[in-house]
Amino acid sequence: MQEELEGSVRKCVQDIEHSKTLEDSEWNEVVKKHIDNKLFTVQEQMNKVQNTLLETREMTAEQRDKESRRNNIVLYKVPESDAGRAEDRNKDDISVVYSRLTMAYMLALRMLTLFMFMYSI
Give the pLDDT confidence of 71-120 residue by residue, as tens digits: 888 888 888 888 888 899 889 888 988 998 999 999 999 998 888 888 87
Burial of 89 (0-12, 13-18, 19+ CB in 10 A): middle
pLDDT, residue 52, reads 96
Q: What is the pLDDT of residues 20-30, one digit of tens each?
A: 665 666 666 76
